[in-house]
Structure 1
Amino acid sequence: MYSLPPIASPFTHPISTLLVDDCAAFRQGLRNLLDFHSTTSSLQFQIVGQAASPQQAIALAIQQSPMLILLDMELAQDSGVEVLQHLRSHSKTNHILVLSGHHEEEWVFKAMQAGAKGYIFKHTLSTQLLEAIQAVLQNQIYLSPEVATQFFHRFHFCAGRSMPGTHTIHLTEREREVLYWLVQGASNDLISRQLNITVGTVKAYLTTIFEKLNVSSRTQAALQALKLGLISA
C-alpha cells in the first residue's frame, strides 16, 4: 500500500478522541492500541469519552467536540449511518473514522456517503489504524485496499455515465494498466507482479499518474479515474 508521509506534527496538544462501540472489551482494546501509538509515534491521543449507544455518542460529540471520532457501524441494533448523519449536522467534528466488521460494499458506500472520512475493518486495526488516523487528520480519505475495491465498484455503479472532458487527460498504455490495478485495490507489490515491473517502477508511474490527475493519494486517483471514465471498475 502507498504510505502517507508521517505527520510533521502540527498538533501541540494531544488529539482528543471519542470511542464509539457497544462492546466494552473492544473499546478497551482500542484504547490500549491508541496508548501504544501515543508512545511509539509522533501523535498523542487523549480519550475524552466512550460511548456504547447512538445517544451517548451524539451527546458526547456535542459536549466534548473531539478532534477524532472512532465509530463502530453497528450500535445496539442501530446503524452507525444515522449517527454519522447526525454528527455531520450537529457536531463540529469532521474527522470520523469508521471501524467495522461489515465487509459488504453497501455498508462501505453508505458510511462514506453519510460523512465518514475513512473505513477500515476491525481485524486490520493493528496494522492500519495509525495510517488511517494520519489520513483523516490531514483531511484525506482513507480506505484500505479491500474496502477501496468494494467502494469503487459501488461508486461506479451509482455514478452511471462518465463525466465529460476525459480527452484532457492523456495516459500512456502502461499508465492505464497501473491505474487499472490501483482501482482494483492492488498493492504496489501486486501491481509489479501483474505487470512484470519493479516496485520502484510502479511508484514512478503512480507519481506521474497523480500529477496528471492532480491528486495526492491512491484513493483520490481511483475516484478520479472512475469519475472521468478513464478506467472501468
Structure 2
Amino acid sequence: MNGTKELVSILLVDDEPHFRQGIRTLLNFYNNSSGVGFNIVGEAASVEQALKLTTEQHPALILLDLELPPEDGITALHRLTELSYKGKVLILSGHQQDDWVFRAMQAGAWGYVFKDQLATQLHEAISTVINNKVYLPPEVATGFFRLFHYYTGQSLTAGNGIQLTEREREVLNWLVQGASNEQIAKHLYITVATVKAHLTAIFEKLGVASRTQAIVKALKMGLVCS
C-alpha cells in the first residue's frame, strides 16, 4: 500500500496559457510534497470548452477563472448546475470586489481565492474544498459577509418562516464561520453524529443540499449573525 496516494482529478479553466502553466507547476509541487495527488485531466480557455471537458472527463474539482471571454465564470457555474455536475468548483480570480465573491458563491462555487494569493492559499483551498468544506480566506470572507448582511437587511421577513431550534441556530452559526463538523461538535460539546443530524434537519428546513447552499441561504435570509 505504501507509495500510493489518492488522486484528485482536476480541470483547469482559464484563458491565459501562462497562468495555467503556473497552476500546473504548483500542483506538481504539491504532488511531490503531500499525501494527496492531483491529476490534471484537461485544460479549457472558454466556457464551452470547460463544459465539453467536464462532460467527457467528470473531474472531481474545477479550478475556474471568472474572466472567460466572451462569457464569464458565473455563466460557467450556472451551466455546470444545468449539467448536474457533481464535483466541486474553486474560483481563482483577479476580481477582488465583494459582489464578484457574492455572485460566485451564490452560483454554487465552493471557494474563492484571489490570484495574487495562490502561492500561499491554493493547497489549503483545494484540500478544504475536496473535503466538502467551504473555503474563504479572511480577506475574502470579510467582504463576503459584509455584502450578505446588506442583503439580510432586505430579507429578514423571508427568514421568519424558517423555524430552527436554538441548537440548530448554533450549529448554523458555526457552519457559516467555516467550522468543520468536528469543530462544531467541540464548540457545542456534542458528538459529530449529533452535528450531522442537526445539519440534515437544517438542510431540510432550508431546502438546500450542500453546506455552501446552506451558508448562502442562511446569510441571505438573516438567519444568523456574525
Mark the CA change 1:93 to 1:205 in structure 2 (over 3 Å): closer, same or farther: closer
1:161 aligns with 2:156: yes
How far residue 50 of structure 1 moved from its aligned partner, in angstroms, is 0.5
Mark the CA change 1:92 to 1:144 in structure 2 (over 3 Å): closer, same or farther: same
Deviations 1:89-145 (A, max 9, x none): 215342110000001111111111111111110111111111111111111111111
Unaligned stretches of 5+ in structure 1? 1-10, 170-178, 186-203
Choose from 75, 83, 86 the match for 2:68: 75
Unaligned stretches of 5+ in structure 2? 168-173, 200-211
CA contact (8 A) 1:166 1:228 kept: no
Q: Give matches, 1:83-232, under 5 Å.
A: 83-159=76-152, 160-161=155-156, 163=159, 168=166, 207-208=186-187, 231=225
Aligned to 1:191: none
Greater Cα offset, 153-162 or 42-51: 153-162
Q: How far apart in 2 are the matches of 1:91 and 1:166?
A: 29
How far residue 35 of structure 1 moved from its aligned partner, in angstroms, is 0.4
Choose from 56, 60, 70 the match for 1:63: 56
Aligned to 1:198: none
Q: How far apart in 1 are the matches of 2:13 and 2:67?
A: 10
- SS of the residue corresponding to residue 143 of structure 1 reads coil
Deviations 1:30-63 (A, max 9, x none): 0000000011011101111011111111111111
Q: What is the letter of the counterpart of residue 56 of structure 2?
A: Q
- SS of the residue corresponding to residue 161 of structure 1 reads helix
Q: How far apart in 1 are the matches of 2:131 and 2:100?
A: 24
| Alignment TM-score, normalising by the size of structure 2 | 0.71
CA contact (8 A) 1:166 1:230 kept: no
Q: How far apart in 2 are the matches of 1:210 and 1:131?
A: 27
Number of residue pairs matched? Answer: 195
- RMSD between aligned residues: 3.7
Mark the CA change 1:62 to 1:70 in structure 2 (over 3 Å): closer, same or farther: same
Identity %: 44
Greater Cα offset, 146-155 or 87-96: 87-96
CA contact (8 A) 2:59 2:87 kept: no
Q: How far apart in 2 are the matches of 1:17 and 1:102?
A: 22
Q: How far apart in 1 are the matches of 2:56 and 2:184?
A: 46
Q: How far apart in 1 are the matches of 2:86 and 2:184?
A: 36
Aligned to 2:42: 49
Q: How far apart in 1 are the matches of 2:121 and 2:150?
A: 27
